[in-house]
Amino acid sequence: MRVRNTPDRYGLVTKLLHWLTALLIIGLIALGWWMVDLSYFDRYYQSSLSAHRALGMLVFALGVLTLAWRGVSPSPHAVASLKPWERLLGHAMHHLLFFMVLAIPLSGYLISTSAGQAIDVFGWFEIPAVIKVGSELRDIAIEVHFYLAYATAALVCMHAGAALKHQLIDRDGTLARMIWK
């Protein structure tokens, strides 16, 4: 399997980055949804929140890496049989997903560092609080984080639904080229 993308195929690096990011985003939405109902005294309250923060920052790093890799190794052209509006919609969706991959962790970072505490990443290192936001901005960051995360759940369903429709009904190899082709 090639490491770099070619004009009609995704390479190994893009595939690994894509599926790792997808797994983490889906897992973090589920974890976030579950953990906000825990009480402060629940035995999983601290551990789930710190895992959520650390994995969320990892998603941010993967997003930056993916964008940098796209600069080094451009994405393949759209599948040739797509209509112009499908091509446009697909590109718009990919850009929106990239935006979410960066914006959700940033809003989460603002919530967690609002009082000036750093983010501990699995005890390996700390990401310092560079901007201290007041409680008003913290509340806005919580709302932004909430809406962006659940909007992303809907976008991912559309994105995955489109990939499955193209693969299984149109049989144009869309999903195959992100997995094995």
| Contact residues for ligand HEM, defined by CB under 6 A | 14, 18, 21-22, 25-26, 28-29, 32-33, 36, 52-53, 56-57, 59, 70, 75, 79, 94, 97-98, 101, 104-105, 108-109, 111-112, 119, 142, 145-146, 149, 156, 159-160, 163, 174-175, 177-178
Instruction: Supply the DSSP string of 78-117, one letter for each residue.
Output: PPTT--HHHHHHHHHHHHHHHHHHHHHHHHHHHHHTTTSP
Positive or negative, the CA dihedral 169, 170, 174, 177 is positive
CA neighbours closer than 13 Å in the CB half-sphere of residue 124: 7
Based on CB atoms, which residue is closest to ligand HEM, 79 or 133?
A: 79
Q: Which of 29, 51, 30, 49 is nearest to 40 (CA)?
A: 49
- CA gap 181, 173 in Å, rounded: 8
Q: How far is the CB of 81 from ligand HEM (least distance, A)?
A: 11
Q: How far is the CB of 57 from ligand HEM (least distance, A)?
A: 5
Based on CB atoms, which residue is closest to ligand HEM, 89 or 146?
A: 146
Based on CB atoms, which residue is closest to ligand HEM, 34 or 43?
A: 34
């700390």: which residue's tokens?
126
Q: How far is the CB of 137 from ligand HEM (least distance, A)?
A: 14
- CA gap 112, 55 in Å, rounded: 13
Based on CB atoms, which residue is closest to ligand HEM, 43 or 155?
A: 155
Q: How far is the CB of 132 from ligand HEM (least distance, A)?
A: 14
Q: How far is the CB of 97 from ligand HEM (least distance, A)?
A: 4
Based on CB atoms, which residue is closest to ligand HEM, 65 or 142?
A: 142
Q: What is the DSSP letter of 127?
A: E
């969320």: which residue's tokens?
56
